[in-house]
């Protein structure tokens, strides 16, 4: 048999649902037991009441028949036939009661009834043929029957009263049992079922809240995954902005929103993305560090534009509104802010705020990465001193021209005298001369498809879709512009040489540049002096 501690331990391990099931089953068992007890009690009461009522009826009937016998004896005179018949009937009835009296009469009453019935039978037999001369015995016998009838009548009255008393007692007992059953049931309901049902209701409410949070979290994770995947496949900033427009439509379908991004100087903010359906939010911030959300590095929610703690830029908004500002930071550097506005006093829900913060974080990561890649690619493909494409970029462009079906021509420009200029006036002057040449070439880029720096004093121009004869005039014009730029910059002692090579005749970068360099060498060898004002492009 389990100890109370073991039972208590088992009960502590049960769940609320199991306890509620136990309580409900216990209530049903108790109610069933009480109903069975009530039904059994009613059946017992009914049977006992029937027995008592039957006894009372027998006693009453016997008393009535005894009175009839007494009356028959009193009316019997002279042995008339009617009197004899009545007397014989009385005898038969009393004899019939003699068999039933055992169940309800006492032994003395049965013996007295037997004696009277015997005397009545003698009187009936005696009166069969003769008349009884004396009525003394009949009168005495009538009186005895009357006494016995009165006894049976009293007994019947007592039995009836006792039956009624027993019925009343059983009725009160049934009422008491019903009251106890109702009290027990009410106690179980109040002490077990109601607390458990309330606990289960709270658990169901928590479960529903958890389901709602799980659904919102799943939707947020899905949106996060979609935004992340969409930004990952965007290899340009413009494509990433298109992804962010679609994300704003999903995350804030009823709000105005805009994404402000810093320019290359990181000192000014420009509108990069706006809500495709509701347009801009109208934020007046002009630089990243003037935004409170950027300075704090966290998303800020403003319920009312007129409150004390509102953003100063929001206070200057055209229309009353609430706002959410989510900063964009990449590797600790501010990139911009995602600004969203709604109805005044009704800021976006916490779920929308979290979605906007997620979009801001994802967009900062992707846009920052794209910009970092663009800067790295620009640095890898740009000459540091001149800003022109470097040797690697120039070589890639020449290969592209070689692979092109339409072909093209390249022009090689060589600045002679740069080393002497560095020796005479210093490297700073030499660098300034290189920058002047680069600026002039960038200005001449309208005539060439590509211009880059090949080596220290060598520059290359690529003219697509042009043969060497067609490109000659372009190259010669660029050379004259270089000389004019150097003269305007008061830089003397430099000579600009130019050579042309056709991609239709040479199929490698090295052979093209070698062909152009050979032309320059041929031009130099045809001159008497190394220092000349210009060099003609050879045929």
Confidence of residue 88 (pLDDT cuts 50, 70, 90): low
pTM greater than 0.75: no
Asked whether residue 69 falls in the same domain as residue 175, the answer is yes
pLDDT, position 5: 63
Using the predicted structure, report yes or no on whether residue 420 has a pLDDT greater than 50. yes
3-class SS of residue 502: strand
Q: Are 118 and 31 contained in the same domain? A: yes
Q: Does residue 371 sit in the same domain as residue 397?
A: no
531 band by pLDDT with thresholds 50, 70 and 90: very low
Choosing from 356, 380, 404, the residue where a domain stops is: 380
Q: Looking at the domain assignment, is residue 170 inside a domain?
A: yes
Cβ burial 150-185 (10 Å sphere, 16+ → b, else e): ebbbebbeebbeebeeebeebeeeeeeeeeebeeee
- Residue 344 inside a domain? The answer is yes
Q: Which long-range CB contacts under 8 A does 278-282 form with residues at least 24 apart?
A: 278/254, 280/256, 281/255, 281/256, 281/257, 281/323, 281/339, 281/340, 281/341, 282/256, 282/258, 282/317, 282/318, 282/341
The answer on 43 and 189 residing in a single domain is yes
397 vs 42 pLDDT, higher one: 397
Specify if 210 maps to a domain: no
C-alpha 258/C-alpha 363 separation (Å) is 13
Q: Which residues pair with 409 in a beta bridge?
A: 463, 502
Q: Is the pLDDT of residue 528 over 60?
A: no
pLDDT band at 391 (very low <50, low <70, confident <90, very high): confident
In a shared domain, residues 372 and 345: yes
For residue 493, pLDDT over 50 is answered with: yes
Q: Is residue 216 part of a domain?
A: no
Are 116 and 38 contained in the same domain?
Answer: yes
Q: Is residue 108 located within the same domain as residue 143? A: yes
Q: For position 146, what pLDDT does the model report?
A: 66
What residues make up the domain containing 169?
A: 9-198
What are the two backbone dihedrals, phi and then psi, of residue 327, each rounded to the nearest 5 degrees? -75, 155
Looking at the fold, whether 265 and 371 belong to one and the same domain comes out as yes
Number of folded domains in the chain? 3
Given pLDDT bands bounded at 50, 70 and 90, which one contains residue 96?
A: low
Do 318 and 434 belong to one domain? no
Give one DSSP letter per residue of 295-321, joined into a string.
HHTS-EEES-TTSTTS-HHHHT-SS--
356 and 433 both lie in a single domain: no
Give 532's pLDDT tier (boundaries 50, 70, 90).
Answer: very low
Can you tell me the distance from the alpha carbon of 224 to that of 354, in angstroms, rounded to the nearest whole number? Answer: 10
Ranking 194-198, 209-213, 421-425 by mean pLDDT, the lowest is: 194-198
The answer to the question of residue 203 being in a domain is no
Q: Are residues 248 and 376 in the same domain?
A: yes
């Amino acid at each position: 048999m389990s100890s109370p501690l073991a039972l208590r331990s088992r009960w502590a391990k049960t769940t609320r649902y199991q306890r509620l099931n136990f309580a409900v089953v216990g209530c049903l068992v108790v109610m069933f037991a009480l109903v069975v007890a009530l039904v059994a009690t009613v059946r017992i009461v009914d049977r006992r009441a029937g027995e008592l009522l039957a006894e009372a009826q027998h006693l009453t009937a016997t008393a009535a028949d005894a009175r009839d016998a007494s009356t028959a004896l009193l009316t019997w005179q002279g042995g008339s036939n009617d009197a004899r018949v009545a007397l014989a009937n009385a005898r038969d009835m009393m004899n019939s009661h003699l068999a039933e009296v055992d169940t309800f009469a006492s032994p003395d009453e049965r013996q007295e009834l037997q004696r009277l019935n015997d005397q009545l039978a003698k009187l009936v037999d005696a009166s069969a043929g003769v008349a009884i001369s004396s009525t003394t015995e009949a009168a005495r016998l009538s009186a005895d029957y009357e006494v016995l009838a009165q006894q049976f009548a009293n007994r019947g009255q007592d039995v009836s009263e006792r039956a009624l008393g027993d019925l009343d007692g059983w009725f009160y007992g049934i009422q008491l049992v019903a009251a106890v059953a109702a009290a027990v049931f009410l106690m179980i309901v109040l002490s077990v079922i109601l607390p458990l049902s309330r606990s289960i209701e709270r658990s169901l409410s928590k479960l529903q809240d958890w389901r709602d949070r799980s659904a919102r979290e799943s939707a947020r994770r899905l949106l996060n995954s979609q935004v992340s995947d969409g930004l990952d496949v965007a290899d340009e900033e413009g494509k990433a902005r298109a992804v962010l427009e679609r994300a704003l439509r999903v995350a804030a379908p009823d709000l105005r929103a805009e994404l402000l991004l810093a320019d290359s100087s990181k000192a000014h903010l420009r509108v990069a993305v706006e809500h495709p359906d509701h347009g801009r939010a109208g934020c007046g911030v002009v630089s990243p560090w003037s935004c409170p959300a950027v300075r704090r590095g966290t998303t800020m929610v403003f319920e009312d534009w007129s409150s004390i703690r509102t953003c100063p830029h929001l206070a200057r908004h055209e229309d009353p509104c609430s706002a959410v500002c989510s900063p964009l930071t990449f590797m600790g550097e501010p990139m911009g802010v995602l600004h969203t506005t709604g109805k005044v006093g009704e800021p976006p829900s916490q779920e929308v705020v979290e979605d906007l913060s997620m979009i801001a974080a994802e967009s900062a990561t992707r846009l920052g990465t794209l910009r970092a890649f663009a800067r790295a690619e620009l640095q890898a493909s740009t000459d540091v001193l001149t800003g022109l494409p470097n040797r690697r970029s120039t070589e890639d462009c020449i290969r592209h021209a070689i692979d092109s079906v339409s072909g093209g021509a390249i022009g090689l420009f060589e600045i002679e005298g740069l080393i002497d200029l560095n020796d005479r006036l210093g490297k700073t002057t030499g660098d300034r001369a290189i920058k002047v040449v680069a600026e002039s070439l960038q200005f001449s880029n309208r005539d060439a498809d590509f211009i880059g720096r090949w080596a220290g004093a060598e520059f290359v121009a690529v003219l697509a879709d042009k043969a060497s004869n067609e490109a000659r005039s372009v190259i010669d014009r660029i050379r004259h512009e270089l000389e004019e730029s150097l003269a305007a910059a008061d830089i003397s002692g430099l000579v600009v040489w130019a050579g042309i090579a056709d991609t239709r005749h040479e199929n490698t970068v090295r052979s093209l540049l070698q062909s152009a360099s050979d032309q320059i060498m041929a031009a130099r060898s045809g001159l008497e002096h190394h220092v000349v004002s210009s060099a003609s492009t050879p045929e």
